[in-house]
Amino acid sequence: MNVNEDDLSLIIEALEAASMWHDARSRVIDTAARRSARRYLGRAAEPGAGREADRQRAKAYAELAARLRNRRSE
pLDDT tens, residue by residue, 16-47: 999 999 999 888 888 887 787 777 776 665 65
More confident of the two residues 8 and 43:
8
Note the pLDDT of residue 36: 79
What pTM does this model have? 0.69
5: left (phi over 0), alpha (psi -120 to 50) or beta: alpha
In angstroms, the Cα distances linking 51 to 15, 43, 55, 61, 72 are 18, 17, 6, 15, 32
Position 49, amino acid: A
Provide the number of structural domains found in the chain.
Answer: 1
Query: 24: domain range?
Result: 5-73
